[in-house]
Amino acid sequence: MDTQADNEAAWVRACEDGDVVTVKALLSLSGQHKIDANADGGWALRTACGNGHLGVVRELLGLSGDRRVDVHAGEEAAFHVACENGHVDVVRELLGLSGDRRVDVHEAWAIGDDVFSKACGNGHVGVVRELLGLSGDRRVDVHSWQEADFCEACKQGHVGVVRELLALTGDRVMCTYHPAAAALLAAGPTAPASPADAALWAGVAAADGLMRSGAADGRMVSAARGGYVVWSWGRRRSLVVSRVSRREGDGRVLGVARIPC
């Protein structure tokens, strides 16, 4: 590598590919060949995090002085892309930072576009678990925007994430914003024993692992307590939950609830 252009091209490839040896070699250069690890708004760290290259991430985080990387660049972009792409090891590494490098887990790029929503919407169970394990001022709000993250996981068919969320207890029990579902399921001879049980029944299509993909409209169907629970996505981002008769040749809709999501 004789020119700065060669060095910069090699730097780009090394960060993208997770080539720790080359990253170390380039970072050791000085003078006019010195690599700017913070160039382009923290591109190097963001790329390494987004591609899940933990070794490169650690090399970059280890820089000090005028080369110290800004982990918060681009509104926590490095942390966001690690969560979005499901790189649990990198997420743990970033969550372990402290002091002025402590990442803001609540940083949102837009309404409802935070790291927890990204992890749920993309089906990354490992990242979801890491985020759910946070406490204190980092505790994630699983009920924000009428449980939009839970609804999105259901919509995308991410059974693992749905199970994880349905297993929450206490003030984190799902469907606390879905009284219509509880009212629907409480009507009839097979009424659930409690509101929490009703929430689980509403989520049975995903939670029981009996889910079958339906037509192109994204319906999910599952057998449940003397009937079928059918989930479909209606207009204005609403979840339509129907309880349908299980009797062969019947097909009667026993009840319908439209839940805003």
pLDDT tens digits, residue range 85-123?
A: 999 999 999 999 999 999 999 998 877 789 999 999 999
Which among 84, 119, 137 is the end of a domain? 137
181 and 254 both lie in a single domain: yes
pLDDT score at 217: 32
Domain that holds residue 149: 141-261
- Do 127 and 153 lie in one domain? The reply is no
Q: String of b and e for 120-159 (b: at least 16 CB within 10 Å)?
A: bbbbbbbbbebbbeeeeeeebebbbeebbbbbbbbbeebb
Q: 241 and 165: one domain?
A: yes
Number of domains in the chain: 2
> Is-contact 188 180, C-beta < 8 A?
no
Whether 56 and 33 share a structural domain: yes
Q: What is the CATH number of the domain that holds 5?
A: 1.25.40.20
148 and 171 both lie in a single domain: yes
Q: Are 123 and 158 in the same domain?
A: no
Q: Are residues 116 and 89 part of one domain?
A: yes
User: Are 12 and 133 contained in the same domain?
Assistant: yes
Percent of the chain whose predicted confidence (pLDDT) is above 70: 66
pLDDT band at 213 (very low <50, low <70, confident <90, very high): very low
- pLDDT above 80 (res 179): no
Which has the closest alpha carbon to 165: 98, 116, 214, 198? Answer: 116
Do 146 and 105 share a structural domain? no
| Residue where a domain stops, chosen among 88, 117, 137 | 137
Q: What is the pLDDT of residue 2?
A: 56
Where does the pLDDT of residue 183 fall: very low under 50, low under 70, confident under 90, or very high at 90 and above?
Answer: very low
Q: Is 247 left (phi over 0), alpha (psi -120 to 50) or beta?
A: beta
Instruction: Check whether residue 186 and residue 232 sit in a common domain.
Output: yes
* Span 40-84, pLDDT tens digits: 889 999 999 999 999 999 999 999 998 999 999 999 999 999 999
Cα atoms in the Cβ-side hemisphere of radius 13 Å centred on 15: 24
Give me the phi and psi of 78, to 5 degrees please.
-60, -45
Q: Are residues 125 and 148 in the same domain?
A: no
Q: Which of 137, 172, 189 is the last residue of a domain?
A: 137
Start-to-end Cα distance in the chain: 55
Q: What is the predicted pLDDT for the residue at 175?
A: 56
Is there a single domain that holds both residue 177 and residue 105?
Answer: no
- pTM exceeding 0.75: no
